[in-house]
Structure 1
Amino acid sequence: MSDPSFRAPRPGEKRFDREAVAYDDAGLVFIGRIRSSWVSRAGCPKNRRAALEAGQPAAVEVDAPWREALPGLEAGAWIFCLTWLDRAQRDLALQVPRHADGPRGTFTLRSPVRPNPIGLHLARIVGIDQTSGRLEIDAIDVLDGTPLLDIKPYFATVDSPSPEPAG
């Protein structure tokens, strides 16, 4: 019996090599790594703004089996990088951030400490080498070597919230 949600490729589409897709656990596979200047959590910027202010180079390295998905990305484009924050704790329901006067629920924070430590990072591509799978980006707030889960384009037309109606 075939899965009804699995469709045949449309003209021009290409599936990844089946052997490269070695799903484990929740079906996630690391497609690359983030390269940054940050080697300790204490020295890592806490957000994009702080990373930009630090002015340190950063890059996304996409592993060979996934590079064929890069065409269409170009310098100047905005992307979201989804990462697996592999060195984060996963056991706190409440946290006390440095900027708060008391505990806050994990889901109200952007802390890497969470049940599933998935990071979401907005970045602008500064340069790209599709052959090597390297995307130079303007800044990022994760440790060097952080596993990359996915890259998604940012579209201002749909990703930027609309102003709330007056009333």
Structure 2
Amino acid sequence: MFEIRGGEIALPDDPADQAGDAHLVFIGTVRSPWVLRENCPKNMREARERGEAATVEIAPAFREGLQGLSAASHVVLLTWLHHAPRNLIVQKPRHATDSKGVFALRSPARPNPVGVHVTRLLGVDIAAGVLTLEGIDVLDETPVIDVKPYFASTDAFPDATYAKSRPVADPDEG
């Protein structure tokens, strides 16, 4: 169980206990060197810097879907962060001075703990259903929801920023 820190707010009901409205199917499993949360890289930049390759094992029924993927240099991997708490709606990261809403953070703790990872694709073995990745920032045996090719021409926004304090319209104001 995760301890709620000062400045954090939990939802009254855990989303994990609610009836689902989508039928997600896990298509595979991440195989990474990270078995303990405290050893896992906190983001993809750190995962790349550590230089530890990882693999994704795709279930047999979905392996034909890998056809053509080897043309991509990078992939977007969507994972289900199954160890993350789902009931925190406001969080106070250890490194931060202020609390933030879950949708302003990249924390794995969220109502639907979907991980988004962009990583270099080092190899594709369709017959074995194995993708070899430059690195990954999730624990070993993390379920995979989807794999997509990354297209720098449409997926990258070089001018994207995240300001420390950006004005947001208040719906209660005039």
Bin for the TM-score computed over the shorter chain: 0.7 to 0.9
The TM-score with structure 2 as length reference comes to 0.77
**In the alignment, is the contact (CA less than 8 A) between 2:93 and 2:99 conserved in 1?**
yes
Show the counterpart of 1:68.
Answer: 64
- Answer whether contact 2:72 2:149 (CA < 8 A) is retained: no
Residue matched to 1:157: 153
Match of 1:139 among 135, 142, 148: 135
Secondary structure of 1:68's counterpart equals helix
Task: Tell me by how many angstroms 1:134 deviates.
Answer: 0.3
Task: List gaps (5 residues or longer) in structure 1.
Answer: 1-23
Offset at 1:75?
A: 6.7
Which of residues 24, 31, 36 in structure 1 aligns to 2:32? 36
SS in 2 for 1:98: coil
Q: 3-state DSSP class of the match of 1:127?
A: strand
| Counterpart in the other structure of 2:85 | 89
Tell me which of 41, 45, 56 is aligned to 2:41.
45
- Aligned with 2:115: secondary structure? strand
| 1:102 aligns to 2:128 (yes or no) | no
Post-superposition shift, 1:145?
A: 0.2
* Runs of 4+ off more than 4 Å: none
Aligned to 1:20: none
Between 48-57 and 114-123, the greater mean CA deviation after superposition: 48-57
Q: Is the 8 A contact 1:75 1:127 kept in 2?
A: no
SS at match of 1:87: coil
Could you report, residue by residue, the CA deviation over 1:38-60 in whole angstroms, capped at 9, with x for unpaired residues? 11111111101111111112011
Identity of aligned residues (%): 51
Instruction: State the superposition RMSD in angstroms.
Output: 1.6
Secondary structure of 2:69's match?
A: coil
Question: Displacement, 1:102?
Answer: 2.2
- What count of residue pairs does the alignment treat as equivalent? 141
Segment drifting more, 66-75 vs 149-158:
66-75
Q: Structure 2 regions of 5+ residues with no counterpart?
A: 1-19, 161-174
Counterpart code for 2:86: R
